[in-house]
Amino acid sequence: MKYEAKTVILKDGSTALFRSPEPEDAAAFLDFFGAARAETDFLLSGPMDPLPTVEEELAWIGNSLASPDQLMIACQMDGQIAGNCQISFKPNAKDRHRASLAIALREKYWGRGIGTAMFEELFAAAKERGVTQLELDYIEGNQRGRALYEKMGFQPWGELPNGIRQSDGTVRSLIYMRKALD
């Protein structure tokens, strides 16, 4: 699904370009994911996991753009990918009212309001689609993420003990959150 590009003014007055990823972004996305995984252990893949090849990333971007049930938004700042987010809509009649969200930001862009702005865009896309419940999960200990999710109206509803094994061998719970949309 394609996202119409827009410039967003962030809380520090800087600007970011929100747009759909394009096939020519494949290498830049691999750089982004490699750097983001090295900066935090709170993403679902880590430095110990292999990055996709450029060809695999290119196919993934193409599939995302072609899918009626996926919307990905890239945040571009300073000529590079600063973050991305995604909403995955449920296609079946019984769970069509639900969607799952994911977000990742490079550390040097934290605290500028990008996450809040990205969530607002995902909320608008969900409402347009008729979604009434949004869901996400995060790794126990991710206090920055949890604070953002709670600020955006998400509430915890469940926990999978030992759901994640960190790169240092520590096991952590996976925390599930939901938000009802009006």
The predicted structure's pLDDT at residue 172: 97
Predicted TM-score (pTM) of the model is: 0.94
The predicted structure's pLDDT at residue 49: 85
The predicted structure's pLDDT at residue 168: 87
Lowest mean pLDDT among 47-61, 117-131, 152-166: 47-61
Closest Cα partner for 137 from 146, 127, 125? 146
Cα angle 70, 73, 77 (rounded to 5 degrees) comes to 165
Q: Read off the pLDDT band of 44 (50, 70, 90).
A: confident
Structural domains of the chain sorted by starting position, each given as residue range(s) with its CATH number in brackets: 6-134 (3.40.630.30)
Closest Cα partner for 110 from 39, 56, 41? 39
**Sheet strand arrangement including 15-19:** 6-9, 15-19, 70-77, 80-89, 98-105, 133-139, 171-180, 155-165
Cα angle 125, 11, 8 (rounded to 5 degrees) comes to 45
Task: Return the SS3 of 1.
Answer: coil
The predicted structure's pLDDT at residue 47: 79
The predicted structure's pLDDT at residue 77: 96
Q: Could you say which DSSP state residue 169 is in?
A: S
